[in-house]
Amino acid sequence: MTPPADIIDDLKKHFTLCQELLGAVEREGQTLRRSDKPSLFEFCKIRKNLLPRLTESLDTLRRHRARWQKYSLDERARHPEIGMLLRQNQDLTMKIILLDRENEQSLLRRGLVPPRELPSVNRQRPHFVAELYRRQGAS
């Protein structure tokens, strides 16, 4: 079993990595709002650098999650900081997703996204998946 101290340490590392990603996404948004012809090469490089690190961190957290769920409820209750760190990571991830979506919208409005990279129309419909499930269940 993974010691809770290892889980806590990896959650903190993941949080730091997510803060770095948030900073990059915020700077990209500021650049998109400020200039008519933004240079996005820097942000592309940052993302390419962060992606393997983020993937590795997520893989580590997935392994920890599987092991953590094998702990008894009493054992998990003795480490409330893990739940707190999980919530902080989730909140930060949602903030990154929201800001990245805003940046994507700015890029789309300016025509800076190649046609092959355009997002699905259904992503713009927040209840598409729920409606799909409802229709499938009625069949």
- The pLDDT score that the predictor gives to residue 39 is 80
Q: Give the global pTM.
A: 0.78
- Identify which of 57, 61, 60 has the alpha carbon closest to the alpha carbon of residue 86: 61
Are the beta carbons of 31 and 23 closer than 8 angstroms? Answer: no
- Identify which of 58, 70, 48 has the alpha carbon closest to the alpha carbon of residue 18: 58
Return the H-helix or E-strand segment holding 65: helix 41-68
Residue type, 34: R
The residue assigned the tokens 């209750």 is 77
Mean pLDDT confidence for 45-49: 93
Mean pLDDT confidence for 65-71: 89
111 φψ region: left (φ > 0), alpha (ψ -120 to 50), beta (else): left
Instruction: Give the pLDDT band of residue 37 (cuts 50, 70, 90).
Output: confident
Interior angle at CA 20, CA 19 and CA 25, nearest 5:
95
Mean pLDDT confidence for 67-87: 93
- The pLDDT score that the predictor gives to residue 52 is 95
- Is the pLDDT confidence value at 40 over 60? yes
- The pLDDT score that the predictor gives to residue 108 is 84
pLDDT tens track for 82-139: 999 999 999 999 999 999 999 988 888 888 777 776 666 666 666 766 777 777 776 5
